[in-house]
Structure 1
């Protein structure tokens, strides 16, 4: 059952998203089960029974059994559809037209703070559903302190994929996520939170988008990012600290 309480898009939105209900056709589920049932598992060997060499054969056997006999996709669909789902077409100058999926809890409070939660890789918007359930249980639309937006990044889950004729970078993903928030009426400011790939996109948003006022990240991997424009050389005590860090690796 869809929680319709939180599905009212803010009046300031400049693009109205389409409401979306996930339903995978029975034929696709049957095809998936058939592929899984007929997938062969390697015979037992010394190597595939030792965890130090990777995933064990026993784990694969148990996983296949769980997928075939315990997993119920329709229950997962119900869990996804219990929250308001949307899709929005975004026109991007570099990547063309992308159809972006997101789950949202929209507040009716005038001063609600917009927060965008960005998943990582491997991952998806599913990571945040338990959190959305907690918010929906604790608050009503009239008392929810935040607008909570959980997108599927381009090429993930229910969003369309990036273009086929050019590379698609983290900066491209950040620009599209920023446009999503602008289209929803949050051009005055929002917070971005992310882990893994989501953390990198959040970091880029903080540096490149005036609309992103703050970020929170689970991971800070500066190796994937350019130095900030105002970067200053490390002072002597900072260089010493970096050396100590290297010695502990």
Structure 2
């Protein structure tokens, strides 16, 4: 049972990192290399809020808002001017990430920071004691996926998002403000990155390069998702489970390399992504 829970946690933590990337890539076709920097913004905002005795969960929400505000600034100043230039967008977001990391280093120093867990208790799951906080992260990841699925499938906002993803010029001709849709999507994706950083901070080492390793696997998951939510879930399950199993039974150092190899093979077999689409 412990192994099953570890796999679920590996998948859940990957989902938390991937969601923001998935939204931005799926709607905007932007490979956001600033994602790791935005995760760092979220985790260091959480550190600051906790130092001022703000409770953990409100601090998570505030950290997401801080990262969303940074994302809004980045979108208005830089990204909005580069949507039609994918290569320039990649270079620009990479440069933004470097700037963010350097600003964090100047503000907080290059050393490690630490966050206390909101709870140190364990919960019995079918007779196996497991970290309550890790179980909470699994549930949060599942709730986010369920909420996104419901929004996309059953709401007017979801219909607008699907229309822009399917054919942006046609959506614009029907009166949809695609510029506003792009702006909101980038801000929400940045907020998700900040929330992921704030949530994962207590169980990972915190330094200015926080999130860089996780984002590498997250990009592969997004490419495998094929711009669909079922594809995102499937890619996270495959990559998260593979990384957890390989790290546990073989070698943790090589786990990321194995995940990259698996993703390359799957993309070679199914370049359109893992999710099957209706004809």
Q: What is the TM-score normalised by the length of structure 2?
A: 0.22
Larger relative contact order (C-alpha < 8 A, sep ≥ 6)?
2
Q: Radius of gyration: which is bigger?
A: 1
Output the TM-score relative to the length of structure 1: 0.23
More helix by share: 2
